[in-house]
Structure formats: structure tokens, C-alpha cells
A and B are shown apart, each in its own frame.
Chain A
Amino acid sequence: MVTTELFGLLMLTVSPASFFPYVQKKIKRHPIAESRFMISGSADNQLRLWNVANGKCLYTWEFPTAVKRVAFSEDDKQVVCITEQRMGHQCAIRVFNINRSGDGTKQSKEPDHMFNPIGSKANVCAFTAQPGVIVTGHESGKVALFNYKTGEEIDNNERAHGDVVTDLQMSPDRTYCITSSKDKSARIHDTKTLDVIKTFTTETPLNSAAIAPDKPYVLLGGGQEAMSVTTTSLRQGKFETRFWHKVFEEEVGRVKGHFGPINTIAVHPKGISYSSGGEDGFVRVHHYDDSYFKTEPYGDLQIDT
């Protein structure tokens, strides 16, 4: 595999379903997704499309400001990205159609749709289950739904969080999502009504939140702010990945290891492992023990995913 250095990388994501093409064929949930591509956004103002199998860069888009967030649609035909508000440029959300025919190098330079969300700038976004609608998380703590074709704000929850929304990850069927925030909490929202379904309150700012498939847990990561880390002890920083029961809103366990705040958490689509990336410069890949799959700490209550 070719390794390519990515300067100022901010966000990358592989198209849905799985990380490797041959695994994908066994998953029937996304009959149309191919998982051939990876998209990355960076502080060098570029958005790049990659071939997952060989690590080759297929196409590069250039913008006036840094790319803060990228996401694939469920069928992996579309990509959404957020660019930073800076140097007179407004925060912009662009949706690109991905041409999957051939080797993927022939992409249209211009976005399919583009708009500037008004008010607080958007930090995170993802496609929802409804066609033509994306959900966004904002610096003010707002969570909103946008029609990306018209740029119209369909609905919002101004007080979803008390501080910057730092992450937003979708449930497998995209009918709900989890957000994390600097206000030390994470929340599950209905992506149709924007109702807050669950709240998980921790003792440190959160940078990432993920949903475990097949198990009723969510994974939260964060810790003391990077700037105040040097003045606090390791034990006080709380640089652990925290597992919470998503229905009972109770913490069920922690995984230690990082010695800096956790910036991002991603769960394996099959729920067999998870990875966390920290400010300490480490990516830690964790595989669950057998007991994780076998034990039912809350009895045999049936919980829908």
C-alpha cells in the first residue's frame, strides 16, 4: 500500500459499510455502497478522494479555507464537507456527487450543491435517513437539519448543547445520531424531529462520541482541554474511553491508555473492536474480549438497535 503524507489532516472517512471491499459483500445492509473510496479533508484547504485498496489519491478539490468535516452518504454516492469560516470566506457546506464509474479519477470540479449556513458556524455534519437532508452541529451548541438542495434550515434545536458541538456520529440506520460537546455531555437526537432522546453527562469536556452497533452502549472520549493538560495530573485528566449504557444513561466501564485527551473514537462497523485517537499522538486499536459479547449486565431486556 502506498502511504501518502497528508498535511494538516482534519478529517477522513471511508465510504460506509466497511473498511475493506471483500468484507462489504457479506453485509446486506448497504446493497449499493461499495467501500472503494476514502475521502479526506485537511487544513491545507484540500478535499481528496482516495482508493482504499491501494492508497492512491484519485482526485483533489481545492477550497479557499480549511476543510473541517467530511462525510459519505449511506449509498456512498455523495460526499458532504464543511469548510472553515476564515479570511472573509463564510463557512460553507458543499455536497459533491461521486462518479464511481471507471477508476474514480473523473470527478466534477464543482459541487452539486453549496450553501452558507447562517448564524453560528457549523462544525460537524452527516447525511440523515431522509433524502436531501443533512444534520449539523454548531459552535454555539446548536444542532440543526438543513435541506442541502435549497440551503434552507428545516429545523433546529438551539439549546441542544451548552457549548461547541465536537462530534456527530450516526446510528446504523441514520434515524438517530449522537453528539458530543465541550459542555461535558453527549446526547442522542432523533434526526427527524431533533428531539433529545438521551443525555450522558460526564465530568470532562468531550471530543467524540460513537454508537456501538449490536450492543446498547455508546463510547465517549475527551478529557481535560489540551491547553490545561500540563497543569493537571494524568489521573485527573480522565483520558479514558467511557462506555455508557445508551438507554439507562449509566456509565458501565472505562478503558484507559491515552495520556492526552481523546480526539476521536470510531467503532468497527461490525462492533468487534474500536479505535481511539488522542492528543498524545497515539491511535489505539482495541479488540473486545469474549466477555464483552457474552455478558448481559442488565439481564435479558431486549433493546432495539
Chain B
Amino acid sequence: MDEAYVEPEAEEYAPREHLRAWLADPQGRDQYVVYRGEDVEIFWHGKPSQCELAYKPDWRDFLYVSWSPLGTYIATLHRQGVRLWGGPSWKPQQRFAHPLVKLIDFSPCENYLITWSNEAIVVPEGKPQGPQYFSPEDEGDNLAVWDIKSGHLLRTFSTNAVEGPAGKRQMQWPALKWSPDDKFVARVTPGQMISVHELPSMFLHGKKSLKIEGVVDFEWCSLSDKDRDEAEKAASVGAGSKIAKKDPENMIAYWTPEVANQPARVTLLSFPSRTILRQKNLFNVSECKLYWQNQGDFLCVKVDRHTKTKKSIFCNLEIFRVREKDFPVEVVELKDTVTDFSWEPKGERFAIVSTNDPNLGNPGPGITIKTDVSFYQLDRVKNDFKLLKTLPNRTSNAIRWSPRGRFVVLATVGSSTKSELEFWDLDFTLEDRRDGQVVKEEWGSTISRLGVADHYGVTDVEWDPSGRYLATSASAWTHTLENGYALWDFRGQNLLKQIQDRFKQFLWRPRPRTLLSKEQQKQIRKNLKEFSRVFEEEDQKENETVNTELFALRRRLVDEWNAWRARSKKELAEDKGQDHAKEKQSEEDKEEIEVWVEEIIEQIEEEVE
């Protein structure tokens, strides 16, 4: 090595590309990625004439692709680790050297990334060293947390796999759960504790975990748009002024099962103050699932309960109204098993799939579970959740709300015989719904089915971020029958269908939150007619050009065809001319006589008495 100090050359500053450039598309289109065979393609999706290939990368040898939650990056999982790509040129943006990585999870604000591999980390001699690489202390772990901007490794963990019922080692994924503001990441050690780590230091918060005997699972409360607005405002102001309003607290919901004489319990905990906000005791519980509404207004705990004899299972929905004083809880009691639950985004409604099919739990070939789908809505007058409508005798097993609410698709996924898609509108008769207006329609009368469709072998159903389009796909990872994808509008009209061998993955590119303030959005909604006029004119013009072009093309094809026909007919007549001249002579002498020939083919005589 050279002993003399050589001053490193100053790297010239190269401005980074704008990573959100795709949002500036003048036509306001969304993007999606398609992974088929060994090829990845990224498309624009908009009006029929605006759908086109955006980029065809030459990424090779990876497991699958994944967008970051705000759409800034796209990740590919290679043998050597994870790569992030982005910007208008789709250049490599970052990489994380985690060999044999199998699963990844972005933090909600795209600051951090968690990677996991089933193989424990090994650091061989002579491997590159530095903050971006594993060091010998990390050996034996499976889970790594990275800072996306710097690419630095923050910390590694070993995963604690839970012994499943069949002795199978089951791992929860995501193994670490992010608070919605990227400030904390927490993981549960089942039966013992929840450990919350602070970001970016990754130190255990308060140097101790939350010891909760028996804890099974927990979920962070989602942030509402209002919370986020305030947080952003505080961040921009907070730097200067030192008044520093107390940081808004996060909230965790967790549950513990029945132990000895203790009832099962759901707890709402404020964090980081660690104060218990609300507890609810439950009895005869076999399983709980926690569902936060995406604005954090409601928490639904789906409680699978058993009768005293433990023979049959039924279901309670315990709904916490989080925004109200003392967190009132309401119970919706159901006789059937609930297999899927989903909140309407930003809404006061939810949908459930329930079933009393005896085949539930015995999956077999050709068995499609019969289900009922029900919608519930918060009754503003009585302040409780009431049934809106039940759709009986379905096979639907997946609920997909439009990200903007109101529209919902019910799908039968993963069945070899049924693959129906139903498109519903929950506010069909409300023409101009205004915010805050009290609904006076008859209860449940505004629900209407917009369309039914079918996508054979469908495995995935996903709305685009704008809630205007739905994508369904049949992935070769699940089966090999009619792989491919289809695009629909929110009414269930098919826009595109691609059947492709070895089709694997379809993903819409997510969008970040809108930059418009509440007032600006209100303004747009108010003057929608003004704004839409421009678009309508555009549409009409485009329609006309498409029609005239198509018509001209057909005209041309017909003209070419007719010209060719005329030519060959003329040639035919000329060729036959000589023959005809001879024949004509003799034909003119002939007389045309029409003769009906009747021939008896078979005759059967029967005696009739």
C-alpha cells in the first residue's frame, strides 16, 4: 500500500433524478409492472389510446419484484441481495447485500427496509466490510433492518419461528411491525413481550420491552390524513420554534388469550407513554384478529368464540370507536364463522365474508366453500354499526374495497371451478354525495351491483391507486391454467385481457398521499363540472379520431380486397373466355329444361286395421 497521503478527488455533485417524476405525467396515468417468464415490463395505464409500455428493464435472475409503499422505488430480490430501482431512467438507486433474501418489507414512509432469508447470515473471510455489509456479530441471524437512503445496515435479528399446530415452523410476516410514522418498529415474542425499537438508532425503547404475559399478536393504529397533516406541519415549523408540541402518541392494540382463571383481553396502549387506554375482557375465545380502519377511527377485533363444549365456532366483532371519549366498544354477534373482514378505506362501513359450510377447514379438490357477504355501516343516529345488506349464497372469499371507498369487488379466488367477480357500488342512488351531508336514504337501499365478470383461475385481485380500475391476475406460481392478467373498470367492463404462458406477477405502482390540502380538494369537487368539461372534450375528440382512423383502415382494406377480387375475376373470365366461346356456340342451341326426378328409395307396406 502506498504510504503517502493522496488527497481524494472531489466527486462532482450530480443531482439525483426526481424519484417521483412519474406523478407528473400530463395525462395523470398510473403505472403497473408485469413479471412474466424472465421478463419485466412496466406499463402506463390510462384511456385506451394512452396505454403504452413505459419501460422494459433488463433485470435478470431475481425472485420477484415489489414496489415501495409510496411507489418511489421498485425492488428486485437477487441471490446477492435486494436492489432498488427508480427515477425516470430506472437507474439503480440502492442495494442491500443480504444473500439469499426471500422476503422484504418497507417501512410505511419508505425510510427503512427489512429483509429476511431462511438461511442464517454467514460472514466469510475477506468479505467487504463497512456500514453497508454484515459484520461477524450478525452471523446466525436472519432478519436485517436497513436505512434506504444511506444503504447502511442498522441491525440484525434472529427470527423466532413459532411451532405451528402441525409441528410446522410458521413465521409471521411481517416479522417486525412498523409504526405508521416510521418512528418505531416492534416485534412480538409470543407469550412474553412486545419489544419496541426506536428509529434510526434501533435501540430498545426505554431499554425494556413491554412484558405482557401471554401476548399473541398486536397491531399499530393507522394514522389519519389529519394526523399526517399535523405531523408535517409540526415538522416544518418545529425545527425553528422550540415550543415543540408534545409529539402525538402512537397506539398499539394487542390481545392475550385466556389463561387459567384470567379472561382473554384486548388492550389499547398508548406509546411511547405506555399508558393503557382501554381494556376489554372476552370469554370462550379461540382466536382474535385485529383490524384497524385505515384512518385509525375504528378498531375491529374479530373474535372466534367456541361454545362451552368447544364443538362449534361462532364469531363476535368487537368494534372500538377510537375517536370517541373512553373508547366505547360495540359488539356485533354472528352465528357463522367469519373468513374475511375488511374496512372501507376512509369510511364508516365494513364488509365480511361469513360461512356455515361444513366443508370449511377441509379443503379438497373441487370444493368451493359457500359463503355469505354482509355490509355494515355506522348508524350516525344511534351511533352503532348496523347491517346494511347481506348477499346470500355466494362463493366469494375475497373483499377488495376501492382505495377511495364506495366501490367494492367481491371475488372468488383460488378455486378451480368458480372465479366470479362482482362489482358493487354502495352509494349508487346518491348522485352528488357531499362531505358531511346526512344521508336520509332508506337504510341499505343505496347498494347496487354494477356488474359481474369472470376471470378463470384468478389468484390476485388489486385496485389501482386511483380506484378507477381493477386488475385481476392468474399467476403461474399458483397454477398453470390460463395464466395472465385482465384489467377492468370499476363497473366490471373488461378493458384488457392478456393470456400469457409463465405469467407470474402484476403490481400497480402505489402513489403517495395527495399534495392538495383539504380546501383545494373541496374546491375541485365543487367545480367538478368545470374541470370535467376539458376532459370530456378531449375524450370526444379522441373518440372521433379513433373512429375515423378505424373507418379509413377498414375502407382501405375493403378497397384492396375488392380490387384484388375484380382483378382475379377478370382473369378468370379471360381464361375461360376461349372455352366459353366454344361452349356458347353449342349452348345456344340447347334448351333449358327443368326436370324433377323422383326416385323411390324404399317402400314399406304396413297393414292398417
Q: Do A and B come from one complex?
A: yes
Chain A: residues with CB nearer than 8 A to chain B? Answer: 1, 21-22, 25, 53-54, 129-131, 173, 175-176, 190, 192, 197, 203, 232-233, 235-236, 247-248, 298-299, 301-305
Measured between beta carbons, the chain B residues less than 8 angstroms from A303 are 558, 561-562
Measured between beta carbons, the chain A residues less than 8 angstroms from B597 are 21-22
* Closest residue of A by beta carbon distance from B499: A203
- Complex: A203 Cα to B568 Cα, angstroms: 31
Q: Are B566 and A301 in contact (CB under 8 A)?
A: no
Q: Are B562 and A304 in contact (CB under 8 A)?
A: yes
Q: Are B564 and A236 in contact (CB under 8 A)?
A: no
Q: Are A236 and B481 in contact (CB under 8 A)?
A: yes
Beyond A192-B571, A247-B554, A301-B554, 17 extra complex contacts between A and B, CB < 8 Å: A1-B601, A22-B596, A25-B595, A129-B572, A130-B575, A131-B579, A173-B572, A175-B569, A192-B568, A235-B482, A236-B482, A247-B557, A247-B558, A247-B561, A248-B557, A299-B554, A303-B558
Measured between beta carbons, the chain B residues less than 8 angstroms from A236 are 481-482
Measured between beta carbons, the chain A residues less than 8 angstroms from B572 are 129, 173, 175
Interface string of B552-568 (1 = CB under 8 A from A): 00110110011011101
Q: Are B456 and A54 in contact (CB under 8 A)?
A: no
Measured between beta carbons, the chain B residues less than 8 angstroms from A131 are 575, 579
In this assembly, does B125 line the interface, its C-beta being within 8 Å of a C-beta of chain A? no
- Complex: A181 Cα to B595 Cα, angstroms: 43
A-B contact pairs, 23 of them (CB 8 A): A1-B601, A1-B602, A22-B596, A22-B597, A53-B601, A54-B599, A129-B572, A129-B575, A130-B575, A131-B575, A175-B568, A175-B569, A192-B571, A197-B564, A203-B499, A232-B481, A235-B456, A236-B482, A247-B554, A247-B561, A302-B558, A303-B558, A304-B562
- Complex: A232 Cα to B558 Cα, angstroms: 39
Q: Which of A197, A298, A301 has the most CB of B within 10 A?
A: A301
- Min CB distance B499 to A, Å, is 7
Measured between beta carbons, the chain A residues less than 8 angstroms from B562 are 302-304
Known: A175-B568, A190-B568. A304 touches B594 (CB 8 A): no
Q: Are A304 and B565 in contact (CB under 8 A)?
A: yes
Q: Are B561 and A25 in contact (CB under 8 A)?
A: no
Known: A203-B499, A233-B481. A304 touches B561 (CB 8 A): yes
Measured between beta carbons, the chain B residues less than 8 angstroms from A130 are 575
Measured between beta carbons, the chain A residues less than 8 angstroms from B564 are 190, 197
Interface size on B, residues (CB 8 A): 27
* Closest residue of B by beta carbon distance from A301: B558
Interface string of B190-213 (1 = CB under 8 A from A): 000000000000000000000000
* Closest residue of A by beta carbon distance from B599: A53
- Min CB distance B61 to A, Å, is 29
Q: Are B594 and A25 in contact (CB under 8 A)?
A: yes
Measured between beta carbons, the chain A residues less than 8 angstroms from B566 are 304
- Min CB distance B594 to A, Å, is 6
Measured between beta carbons, the chain A residues less than 8 angstroms from B499 are 203
- Complex: A87 Cα to B554 Cα, angstroms: 51
Measured between beta carbons, the chain A residues less than 8 angstroms from B554 are 247-248, 298-299, 301
- Min CB distance A170 to B, Å, is 13
- Min CB distance B578 to A, Å, is 10
- Complex: A249 Cα to B566 Cα, angstroms: 20
- Min CB distance B184 to A, Å, is 49
- Min CB distance A223 to B, Å, is 14
- Complex: A54 Cα to B456 Cα, angstroms: 49
CB-based closest 4 A-B pairs? A304-B565, A175-B568, A301-B558, A247-B561
Q: Are A54 and B482 in contact (CB under 8 A)?
A: no
- Complex: A303 Cα to B456 Cα, angstroms: 37
* Closest residue of A by beta carbon distance from B553: A248
- Min CB distance B315 to A, Å, is 36
- Complex: A247 Cα to B571 Cα, angstroms: 21
- Complex: A1 Cα to B599 Cα, angstroms: 12
- Complex: A233 Cα to B602 Cα, angstroms: 46
Measured between beta carbons, the chain A residues less than 8 angstroms from B601 are 1, 53-54
Measured between beta carbons, the chain B residues less than 8 angstroms from A173 are 569, 572
* Closest residue of A by beta carbon distance from B555: A301
- Min CB distance A88 to B, Å, is 40
Measured between beta carbons, the chain B residues less than 8 angstroms from A21 are 597
- Complex: A129 Cα to B568 Cα, angstroms: 10
- Complex: A301 Cα to B482 Cα, angstroms: 37
Measured between beta carbons, the chain A residues less than 8 angstroms from B595 are 25
- Complex: A197 Cα to B560 Cα, angstroms: 10
Measured between beta carbons, the chain A residues less than 8 angstroms from B555 are 301
- Complex: A25 Cα to B565 Cα, angstroms: 27
* Closest residue of B by beta carbon distance from A36: B597
Measured between beta carbons, the chain B residues less than 8 angstroms from A197 are 561, 564
- Complex: A303 Cα to B566 Cα, angstroms: 11
- Complex: A203 Cα to B565 Cα, angstroms: 29
- Complex: A235 Cα to B482 Cα, angstroms: 9
- Complex: A176 Cα to B499 Cα, angstroms: 33
- Complex: A233 Cα to B536 Cα, angstroms: 44
- Complex: A192 Cα to B573 Cα, angstroms: 13
- Complex: A175 Cα to B565 Cα, angstroms: 9
Measured between beta carbons, the chain A residues less than 8 angstroms from B569 are 173, 175, 304
- Min CB distance B420 to A, Å, is 14
Measured between beta carbons, the chain B residues less than 8 angstroms from A299 are 554
- Min CB distance A258 to B, Å, is 18
Measured between beta carbons, the chain B residues less than 8 angstroms from A235 are 456, 482
Interface string of B215-238 (1 = CB under 8 A from A): 000000000000000000000000
- Complex: A1 Cα to B600 Cα, angstroms: 10
- Complex: A200 Cα to B263 Cα, angstroms: 70
- Complex: A78 Cα to B443 Cα, angstroms: 79
Measured between beta carbons, the chain A residues less than 8 angstroms from B558 are 247, 301-303
- Min CB distance B340 to A, Å, is 27
Measured between beta carbons, the chain B residues less than 8 angstroms from A22 are 596-597
* Closest residue of A by beta carbon distance from B601: A54
Measured between beta carbons, the chain A residues less than 8 angstroms from B596 are 22, 25
Taking CB atoms and an 8 Å cut-off, the chain B residues in 457-494 that contact chain A are 481-482
* Closest residue of A by beta carbon distance from B598: A22
- Complex: A298 Cα to B568 Cα, angstroms: 24
- Complex: A140 Cα to B344 Cα, angstroms: 60
Q: Which of B499, B561, B579 has the most CB of A within 10 A?
A: B561
- Min CB distance B577 to A, Å, is 12
- Min CB distance B576 to A, Å, is 8
Measured between beta carbons, the chain B residues less than 8 angstroms from A176 are 568
- Min CB distance B18 to A, Å, is 42
Measured between beta carbons, the chain B residues less than 8 angstroms from A247 are 554, 557-558, 561
- Complex: A247 Cα to B557 Cα, angstroms: 7
- Min CB distance B598 to A, Å, is 9
- Complex: A172 Cα to B329 Cα, angstroms: 80
Measured between beta carbons, the chain B residues less than 8 angstroms from A304 are 561-562, 565-566, 569
- Min CB distance A229 to B, Å, is 14
* Closest residue of B by beta carbon distance from A197: B564
Taking CB atoms and an 8 Å cut-off, the chain B residues in 528-560 that contact chain A are 554-555, 557-558
Measured between beta carbons, the chain B residues less than 8 angstroms from A305 are 565
